[in-house]
Amino acid sequence: MHIVADRICDPDRAILDCKSYSSRALTRQGFETSEYKRWARGGGSRELPSAESIRAAVRYVVDRQGEPMAVYVLDPGEAVVPLANAQGCQDTQG
């Protein structure tokens, strides 16, 4: 799984939360049991300092990972639901 996200104050926590949520959803839908090891250990994150670096990351995720799979894009007007454990984040835009 690859995610390109904006304004994540704790990327390591976001990776853990995403894996946990996804694992529960897969188990709930009957795809696998909860004992199945789905994820590689850890996860990687890096800062994308420019619009071009963000576009390049998206192109890599969508176009350079072998056979295409599902791609989900959040439209700018859609509501964003914050992570349940996103404590300690401060608004740096204000």
Q: Can you tell me the distance from the alpha carbon of 60 to that of 42, in angstroms, rounded to the nearest whole number?
A: 20
Question: What pLDDT sits at residue 88?
Answer: 45
Q: DSSP per residue over 60-85, as a string?
A: HHHHSSSS--------TTS--PPPTT
Question: What pLDDT sits at residue 85?
Answer: 47
Let me know the angle formed at the C-alpha of 67 by 66 and 72, rounded to the nearest 5 degrees: 100
Q: Mind listing the pLDDT tens digit of every residue in the chain (94 residues)?
A: 788 887 788 888 888 888 888 888 888 888 877 777 878 777 788 888 888 998 898 888 888 888 877 777 777 776 555 544 444 455 444 4
Question: What pLDDT sits at residue 52?
Answer: 92
All structural domains of the chain with their residue ranges? 1-36+44-74
